[in-house]
Amino acid sequence: MSNAEENNFYSVMLIDDNEIDNLINQKMIEAASITQHIYTHTGARSAIEFLKNVEKLEDLADQILPDVIFLDIDMPLMDGFQFLDEFEKLQEATKNKCKIVMLTSSINPQDVNKSKEYSYVKKYINKPLSQENLEKLEL
User: Tens digit of pLDDT for each residue in 120-138?
Assistant: 999 999 998 999 989 888 8
Residues of the chain with pLDDT > 90, as a percent, come to: 82
User: Residue 4: what pLDDT?
Assistant: 40
**pLDDT at site 3:** 42
Q: List the domain range (segments joined by +) for residue 96.
A: 3-135
Q: Are 29 and 37 in contact (CB under 8 A)?
A: no
**Cα distance between the two ends of the chain:** 17
Looking at residue 21, which CATH number applies to its domain? Answer: 3.40.50.2300
Give the pLDDT of residue 6: 63
The one-letter code for the residue type at 79 is D
Q: What is the dihedral of CA 68, 70, 73, 74, to 10 degrees?
A: -150
Give pLDDT, residue 21. 94
Query: How confident is the model at residue 28, as a pLDDT?
Result: 94
Give the pairing of strands 121-126 and 68-71: unpaired
User: What domain count does the chain have?
Assistant: 1
Name the stretches of the chain with pLDDT < 50: 1-4
For residue range 50-62, what is the model confidence (pLDDT) as tens digits? 999 999 998 899 9
